[in-house]
Structure 1
Amino acid sequence: MKDNFSKQAADYSKFRPQYPEEMIQYIISFVDDKSTALDLATGNGQVAHKLSAHFKNVFATDISQKQLDNAIQAENIIYHKESAEKTSFANHQFDLIVVAQAVHWFKFEEFYKEIYRILKPEGIFAVLGYGLFFTNPDSDKILRHFYYDIVGAYWDAERKYLDENYETIPFPFDEIATEKFQNQFIWTFEELVGYLQTWSSVQHYISKNNQNPIDLIYEDLKLSWESNDKKVTFPLLLRIGKLK
């Protein structure tokens, strides 16, 4: 798994959108035993924290110590620094395993072999994510130019799985048909720019060009944002399965 997010871990914790409680409730509705859950590539721990209200124990892992240093704490969350493809957990330990906005970074064959090892036979596996957000038409025009034309070449190849709504990832499970979800926010301009700053493509652009690409659209985007409704909508991605 690549570590694209250590450098901006604090921003990631502050600006990345949360998943709605209704989506979390929907996922756990498929889980019979609420003893032990695992959040892989937990990042800032937002999903682990939501699960901690419903499970006796929640484990959460990430390869970035900086991400874990910024993670949300709770008495029943145990954080580990380790990869998703090779964990330290016991065979058939978990009732629920989730991975949010990260499965596209994994080595699929190794990862799914590990899921089959550590998930209970009757357990649930869920992949969560969110695609490119949309907003008012005027700001969308600027943001899509930014996404495709300015930083488009700086996305890792794995980004295509998100652009394809996780429909093309390998998914070797008995899949459960799911409802569709989306997430809506009202964002200040600071929150919008803060979120853009967490994009791995933006960080790659800065590293290569010694310039922040957001500066190229900053003034136009600010003018557009302040004169519109500031509403942001994220299409949410969800796939749920059980062991075959």
Structure 2
Amino acid sequence: MQPLDRFSGHADLYAQYRIDYPADLYAFILSNTSGRQIAWDCATGNGQVAGALTEHFNQVEATDISEKQLLLAVQQPNIHYQLSPAEQTPFADATFDLITVAQALHWFDLTAFHQEVRRVAKPGATLAEWGYGLVQLGTDLDPLILDFYRNRIGPYWDPQRKYIDTAYATLPFPFHNPQRATFTAKRSWSLERFLNYLRTWSAVRQYIHENETDPVIGLGEEMKSLWGADEHEMHFPIFLRLGHV
């Protein structure tokens, strides 16, 4: 089966406007990871996680199916990027101390990916899979963004989106010592910055493709008076599951 690529077409927006992840998430992962030699960030996108891992590992391998994403990725001397699907990689057996997947697991052939994890992970290595749900803007704005998410662009989400909405709770995780944890990424953005973040959503891109109009423009007009001229604080709820091979 050909891997599904929903992000090459707007890799520039993705690189600029997607969130990065909080320090306490990495601290939790590292506290459950014994080795520090080499990590693999799978579906690295623009290399946000790979860049963070370089501070803790001698070498980071980062893969993605989007060449355009990799061309815009964070550059560090100890990151090696290459094109590769999650389910079949060029890595040798028993290579990695840590394997990470951020906001991408729901696109994979999960059985094949977990089989590949077992092959390329060192005995006892850590697998960390995480994602984040619908942004929380506060009492006045949440109903607008929820309506946009469910109704305006709801029909344009891929079926896999349901796994994000349920925080991967229904996806199998056949690894030792499984743990779940939650975190929050707090950001303060201008309305323009937030609207450009929405334009990275795969459903928004599909809506634009099918209708040749940008649904974010109308939402922005609705939100303008409530947002105000200043930056607005928002919370991104992050869910993580972690285990050992």
TM-score range, shorter chain: over 0.9
Counterpart code for 1:233: H
Residue aligning to 1:226? 228
TM-score, reference length from structure 2: 0.96
**For 2:160, what is the secondary structure of its paired residue?**
helix
SS in 1 for 2:4: coil
1:47 aligns with 2:49: yes
User: Offset of 1:135 from its aligned partner?
Assistant: 0.9
Report Cα offsets for 1:13-52 as digits up to 9, x if no partner: 1110110122112101111110000000000100000000
The residue type paired with residue 155 of structure 2 is A
Separation in 2, partners of 1:242, 1:94: 12
Conserved? CA contact 1:85–1:107, under 8 Å: yes
The farther-off stretch of 21-30 and 224-233 is 224-233
Match of 1:181 in 2: 183
Distance in structure 2 (CA, Å) of the matches to 1:179 and 1:147: 25
Q: CA shift at 1:227, angstroms?
A: 6.7
Q: Quote how far apart the aligned CAs of 1:85 are.
A: 0.5
- Are 2:204 and 1:208 aligned? no
The one-letter code of the counterpart of 2:196 is: G
| Partner SS, residue 162 of structure 1 | helix
Q: Does 1:84 align with 2:86?
A: yes
Give the Cα separation in 2 of the matches to 1:24 and 1:172: 22
Give the conservation status (yes or no) of the 8 Å contact 1:136–1:228.
no
Q: How many Å separate the matches in 1 of 2:127 and 2:179?
A: 13
Contact 1:124–1:241 (Cα < 8 Å) also in 2? yes
Aligned counterpart, 1:164: 166
Which residue identity is paired with 2:168? Answer: Y
In 1, Cα distance between equivalents of 2:230 and 2:161 = 29
Paired with 1:52 and 1:216, the residues of 2 have a C-alpha distance of: 41
Alpha-carbon distance in structure 2 between the residues aligned to 1:117 and 1:87: 10
Amino acid at match of 1:10: D
Match of residue 28, structure 1, among 27, 30, 48: 30
Distance in 2, Cα, partners of 1:194 & 1:175? 39
In structure 2, distance between residues paired with 1:177 and 1:94: 20
Structure 2 CA distance for aligned equivalents of residues 104 and 190 of structure 1 = 28
> Is 1:126 aligned with 2:128?
yes
Tell me by how many angstroms 1:68 deviates: 0.2
Separation of aligned partners in 1, 2:138 and 2:218: 20
Identity of aligned residues (%): 42
Q: CA deviation at 1:180?
A: 2.5
Moved over 6 A (4+): none
1:64 to 47, 63, 66: 66
1:150-169, CA deviations, whole angstroms, 9 ceiling, x for partnerless residues?
00000000000000011111
17-26 or 192-201, larger mean C-alpha shift: 17-26
| Residue 74 (str. 1) matches residue 76 (str. 2) | yes
Alignment-derived partner of residue 141 in structure 1: 143
CA–CA distance in 2 between the matches of 1:177 and 1:125?
11
The amino acid that maps onto 2:143 is K
In structure 2, distance between residues paired with 1:229 and 1:56: 38
8 Å Cα contact 1:175/1:239 also seen in 2 = no
| Residue 7 of structure 1 pairs with residue 9 of structure 2 | yes
Supply the distance in 2 between the matched residues of 1:178 and 1:215 (Cα, whole angstroms).
37
Q: For 1:181 and 1:144, locate their aligned partners in 2 and report how far apart those are by CA, in whole Å.
A: 21
Local SS of the residue matching 2:144: helix
The answer for unaligned runs of 5 or more in structure 2 is none
> Residue 147 of structure 1: SS of its match in structure 2?
helix
Q: Aligned partner of 1:94: which letter? A: F
Match of 2:102 in 1: 100
Secondary structure (helix, strand or coil) at the match of 1:132 reads coil
Closer/same/farther in 2, CA of residues 229 and 64 from structure 1, 3 Å limit: closer
Aligned equivalents of 2:139 and 2:231: distance in 1? 11
